[in-house]
Amino acid sequence: MKTPLYIAVYIAICVANTHAFFISGYGPSSWNPDVETMDANLGIDETFIIEDFEDPEFVPGLSWSKINGDPSVTQPTLVPESTFPGNWDGVQSLRAEHDFIDGDAVFTYSEQLSMFGISISDMTPSCILSIYVDENLVGTTDTLSEFASDLINQHKNGYLWIAAEEDESFNEVSLICDRTDRFYYDHCALKTAKAAVPEPGITPLLGMGIFGLLLLGKRKAIAYQISTSSLTIKNRYSGRQKHVCHFR
């Protein structure tokens, strides 16, 4: 009985923790000063919500926080184009600084998302961003061959996409640099997930597995009792036959 129990627990854990996300990127040539043309290049349509980082008030539901950096700085730093031309739309972009004041960015949305996109500019080519979705590492930017190895188009690296598999969703994205660096984000695209049947948690799955094993064990016990009872009846009947034969 122990081996099936271990298998049931393993399957329950695997099912409960299986999440699939796809990481992709567009190169700097996808940028265009005409935003509509750029959106067409990036596959962004009217179903997306766009945060352009033109002011500290982000679109409803989107919030920013940081990892490392100066804890006294609680507001995002928006840099004008006149200071650094890292913007992909409008005249401002959001600054990120690993081990500097602004730290690494964490984006959280109040609803579940199926897609998240954001532009990256002026990141040192040797820098690698680790991409976390709901605190789970899902990829790194060094695997995106489309990203620029040398900065062109006004220091633009490329556009990062995170997409959830069908029936999956997420609401937090963390982008963490592997070294001291300063770079800029812009044109964040959010696509909310369709309502789906909630995935069963690990506790119900474990309960179902254990209940199934107990039911299987009970059935075997009943079968054994029936078999034992049949054998007892047969023995008794055989005894009676012997008893009759004894009188003959």
Distance CA 113, CA 42 (A): 18
Q: pLDDT per residue over 133-187, tens digit each? A: 999 999 999 888 887 655 555 688 899 999 999 889 999 999 999 888 888 999 9
User: Of the CATH numbers 2.60.120, 3.90.1750, 1.10.3470, 1.10.472, which one belongs to the domain with range 2-192?
Assistant: 2.60.120
Distance CA 103, CA 181 (A): 9
Which residue from 88, 86, 78 is spatially nearest to 42, judged by alpha carbons? 88
Which residue from 118, 111, 113, 131 is spatially nearest to 52, judged by alpha carbons? 118
Mean pLDDT of the chain: 77
Distance CA 199, CA 106 (A): 25
Stated pTM of the model: 0.71
Q: pLDDT per residue over 176-221, tens digit each? A: 998 888 889 999 999 999 854 445 555 555 555 555 555 555 555 5
pLDDT computed for residue 246 by the predictor = 39
106, β-bridge pairs: 65, 174
Q: What's the average model confidence in pLDDT over 103-111?
A: 93
Between 35 and 207, the higher pLDDT residue: 35
